[in-house]
Chain A
Amino acid sequence: MESYSRRWFLGAGATTLISATGLTACGSGSGSGSSGGTITAMVYGDDAVKVQTAAVTRFNASAAAKKAKGKIKLEKVPGSDYPAKLRTAMGSPHAPDVFFNWGGGSIKAYKDADQLIDLTDTIESDPVLKDGFLPSVLAAGALSGRNFGIPMRGMQPVMLFYNKAIFAEHKLQPPTTWDQLLDINAKLKKAKITPFALGGADIWPELMWLEYLVDRIGGPEVFEKIKNGDSSGWGDPAVLKAAETVKQLIDDGAFGKGFSSVAYTNKGAPAVFAKGKAAMHLMGSWEYSTQLGEFPDFAKKSLGWCAFPKYDGGAGDIRNVVGNPTNYWSVNARTSNKDAAIAFLRECASEQYAKDLIANGDIPTTSNAANLLDASPNPEFAKFQYSMVQQAPAFTLSWDQAVDPNISTPMLTEINKLFVGKSSPSQFVTALQGLK
């Protein structure tokens, strides 16, 4: 009874309810309206937040803070409701001054509502910010060529992980072309090993396949067009070809049979991979730390990694990368102390900040990071990842972060339909073209 009435109540007014609780929940922060020097920074409160906590402490004691007459108060929002909490806070009078985001589509609504400070000129005129970060990373978080964010966490490129033990046993080499990948696929299936682990229940791991295939077949320009709001871009032949390629892989059993019931978030797919039930795993660089945490033996002895292979005859460079370049800080246009906010953002380009990230197992996107990689828990992996991103001619932001949330939600549904066989590649393309 109790839960029954609660659900009924939720159904009745969830939207207004959440906005109401959101308003009060954020009321504890001093907010942007305060006349004092303290401004708030809202951040995703996971393990990596200790880097930001240290940065805030350092900044608050610094000369830069005194000069700007401001201090930062960090507001950590735990868990996956961060985007919804941020949306609520930004719509309220208690909006944060500085906030964590994924760049691109994740901040488009705020930009459209004139809630963001355009940082392009600030970056251009400030050598610390201008030369502090890898250009491809700065660019990947931008909207229509304008910068609204400063990189503030580790890079998260997607790469192809493989099980070295299985590869050695079956005399396989990591693939560099699509034909090689298909060849490996066939050999593994003969040996009754699922070629690829896939956490299909989460959908975004499925998205990674399309992101890379579209890039390799048609080049990064295809999605660039879509990202900038031109939904006709979905009609590019590369999208159809990528969808057909995915369909062939599925029909061929490359992901095994039960992939729709496996999630990444509950460590299901990493377990399939680590226990040798699947030989490869297309995943973001965080797969390394996940494996290190869950299956340290496997991570240390058998985990290999390589770039996503080249598609024969495709337009995309094998050095192109997809994934999340990093996370960004953006500045609220209504901030009471812009100077303090900018001064704080410069802190993210500092060597100490980069060192903290390295110690946490992350690879900073700062241009000085290369000298620090030896201090990483795994220098070999750190160097591969860093040079992968540094040398990338293009870094495509994960599609679901690059487009507006009201496009990304149905887009993910359509991708799921393609993977479970509810729609054909051509139906998939038609459905995506209809998204507005």
Chain B
Amino acid sequence: MSSTVSTGTKGRPGKGVRAGRPHAAWALPGVLFFAFFAIAPMVLAFYLSFTKWNGLGDPEPAGLANWQKLFDDPRLTQSITVTVLLTVVSWTFQTVVSLLLGVWAAGRQRNRAVLSAIFFTPFLLSSTAIALLFYSLLDPNFGIIRGDTFGSTSGAFLAIVFVGGWQFIPFHTLIYQGGARQIPEVLYQAAAIDGAGRYRQFFSITLPQLRNTATTSSVLMIVGSLTYFETVLILTQGGPGTDTAILPYLMYEAGFKSYDFGYASAIASFLVVAATALSLLLVRLTGFGAMRSTREGM
């Protein structure tokens, strides 16, 4: 096997071959853009997490003080708990609804296309607009649902889950719709011949066939929920008390309300590490990277 490689021209493989794979330099604009706007700020934030800086003058070295403070902060544990809970509940809510909607919308009838287009509109609105809209709808005096929604922990939490779902379910519905349309019709025809009913077809064909789709959608939901921010900022501001203060909100508060940029950077760095670890874990556990076929034997 290896002998075939050494027969080419000397030097790096691919040199002298004009056609075929594009040159690495083509990626340069993208790489530079990413480096300047994502990597560099991340590195800077990590550096700032070891300093004390209120935005004026030069950052002063602070050693591990910010990290010490972070791990001593009772709000860290609380916000991790809130984030985990928010992720689990949001995932369940969004997955169930968008799976059902997506499978339904995968049908070919005319009204479904029209309705699907309507369902998709919330995703086109900005998170801020949506949050403001629901804030008014939940007003205890003039809204349509009149209660002290944001004064109770469960009310505030469920409002965030619902508003987040309302916004993102259309997107995931679209993914599931695409996935469901990919399922070969012959499977259903064969199942029908075997006498399988609608429910049996759904659980034995549709659901298993949507495995990869579900993985894609779930990874997006879970990693996305770590960075949930605008909805919390507008609806609850982390309240009541600190009961819905998720990590990105804590970071915002430390940075742009308290001007404690060192501490805010520590939270931001922690968030980057946690999000990266979680997505790697998800990719590993779900076999997302391997992308095994769902059509084995076909």
Contacts and interface: CB of A to CB of B under 8 A. Distances in A.
Interface of A: 1, 3-4, 7-20, 84, 87-88, 90-91, 109-110, 113, 115, 200-201, 203, 256-263, 266, 268, 271-272, 275, 277, 405-406, 409-410, 413, 416-417, 420, 422-423
B256 interface: yes
B97 interface: no
A201 B248 contact: no
A42 B271 CA distance: 35
B41 interface: yes
Nearest to B44: A16
A13 B227 CA distance: 12
B55 A91 contact: yes
Interface centre among A3, A9, A266, A423 (most CB of B within 10 A): A3
B264 A15 contact: yes
B259 A405 contact: yes
B251 A260 contact: no
Nearest to B235: A201
B178 to A, nearest CB: 14
Contacts of A405: 257-259
9 contacts: A4-B227, A7-B248, A12-B271, A13-B44, A14-B45, A84-B256, A261-B138, A409-B258, A416-B240
Would you call the interface of chain B mostly helix, strand, loop, or mixed?
helix
B151 A260 contact: yes
B42 A12 contact: yes
Interface residues of B, number: 60
B220 A1 contact: yes
A423 B45 CA distance: 34
A14 to B, nearest CB: 6
A257 B148 contact: yes
A15 B241 CA distance: 25
A203 B151 CA distance: 12
Given A14-B268, A277-B141, A406-B258, A3 B242 contact: no
B264 A14 contact: yes
Given A109-B259, A260-B150, 13 more contacts: A11-B272, A13-B38, A13-B44, A14-B268, A15-B44, A201-B237, A203-B239, A259-B151, A261-B147, A262-B140, A413-B239, A416-B240, A420-B239
A423 B268 contact: no
B57 A113 contact: yes
Nearest to B142: A271
Interface of B: 37-38, 40-42, 44-45, 48, 54-57, 127, 132, 135-136, 138-142, 146-151, 171, 220, 223-224, 226-230, 237-243, 248, 251-253, 255-261, 264-265, 268, 271-272, 275
B239 A11 contact: no
Given A4-B227, A10-B229, A12-B38, A261 B44 contact: no
A18 B268 CA distance: 14
- Count chain A CB atoms within 10 A of each CB in B56, B127, B148, B237 and give the residue with the most: B56
A1 B217 CA distance: 11
Given A257-B148, A259-B151, A266 B135 contact: yes
A268 B251 CA distance: 28
Contacts of B41: 12-14, 16-17, 20
Given A113-B57, A405-B257, A409-B253, A8 B141 contact: no
Given A7-B227, A91-B56, A266 B136 contact: yes
A409 B127 CA distance: 25
A15 B139 contact: no
Nearest to B279: A8
